[in-house]
Structure 1
Amino acid sequence: MQQLGNTEQASTLLYLPTAPIVDPTNTTDYQSLVKLNGNHWRKILIILAKLQCPDQNWRDYRDQQLLEQREAISFKNHLEPGNKFHIVAGKASWQRLGLDLADFHPLEESGRLYQKGRIFLTPYPDYRQFPNQLIELLRPRLK
């Protein structure tokens, strides 16, 4: 599998190194993804929902709309074309996509978020590496 969601339609793409196990009848269902892949994917999807939700009700967004139109997750070795926001998560993804940190500017002092145009280099989506403080810093930039 090379993607979750429709990468052509989505305005925001999250790039991760490894695809999850999916139910072929419903590849974007939150409950199914968590059931098949465990807590690791629960965290990824919650962080993505918090980043993409148009209001503060990220739980409903996660359960009803996530990966349906506004965002997608790509496991490809290149950035998708088009005028999209690209969230490249984790150093393994930065390297896989050939992105050089020297071309980006930091968005905060800890050096965990970087930006170059519509491309953002972020930590891997895990609560310890990508806490709410970073979500709140990145979220308005994705609008």
Structure 2
Amino acid sequence: MRALGDTESATTLLYLPTPPIIDTGTPLSYSRLCELNGNHWRKILIILAKLQTTESTWRDYRDEQLLRQHEAIVFGDQLLTGHQLHIVAGKASWLRLGLDLQHFTPMEASGRLFRRENIILTPYPDYRQFPNALIDQLRPVIQAFRSGG
């Protein structure tokens, strides 16, 4: 599996090192992904929903829209071409994609978010490494990119 979601229509691509187990016989859903993959993927999907939500609450977004319109999760060994916002999560993903931190600018004081044009390097999406404060700092950047700003 190379991606979850539609990489062609997504405005945000999240890059992770390892794909989840999926059930090809049923539609992609938050509940099914968590059932098959446990708490680890529950955390990833909640953080992604919190990053992507606009008007709706993140829970509604997670349950009704996540991976259906604005975002996709990619597991490949190179950045996909296109004008999407590329969020590369975790040092393992940064290294796998050949991204050198010294070519990026810190986005905030703690040194956990870095940006170069449409590529953002972030911690791995886990609550300890990617707390709500960091989500709150990154969400406006994602929203501005989505709206063309």
Off by >6 Å, runs of 4+ in structure 1: none
Residues 1:128 and 2:108 aligned together: no
Correspondence 1:71-110 to 2 at 5 A: 71-110=71-110
Q: Report the Cα offset of residue 110 of structure 1.
A: 1.5
User: What is the letter of the counterpart of residue 57 of structure 1?
Assistant: T
User: What is the letter of the counterpart of residue 109 of structure 1?
Assistant: A
TM-score scaled to structure 1, two decimals?
0.97
Which residue number corresponds to residue 42 of structure 1?
Answer: 42
User: What is the letter of the counterpart of residue 11 of structure 2?
Assistant: S
| Gapped regions of structure 2 (runs ≥ 5) | 144-149
Q: Determine what percentage of the aligned residue pairs are the same residue.
A: 64
TM-score scaled to structure 2, two decimals?
0.93
Report the RMSD for the aligned CA atoms in angstroms: 0.9
* Post-superposition CA distance 1:25-73 (Å, at most 9, x none): 3353000000000000000000000000113501000000000011000
Which residue number corresponds to residue 119 of structure 2?
Answer: 119
| Gapped regions of structure 1 (runs ≥ 5) | none
Which residue number corresponds to residue 63 of structure 2?
Answer: 63
Where 1:72 maps in the other structure, the secondary structure is strand
Provide the C-alpha distance between the structure 1 equivalents of 2:141 and 2:97, rounded to a whole number of angstroms: 21
Where 2:17 maps in the other structure, the secondary structure is coil
User: What is the letter of the counterpart of residue 114 of structure 1?
Assistant: F
Which residue number corresponds to residue 5 of structure 1?
Answer: 5
Corresponding pairs, count: 143
Q: Is the 8 A contact 1:27 1:33 kept in 2?
A: no
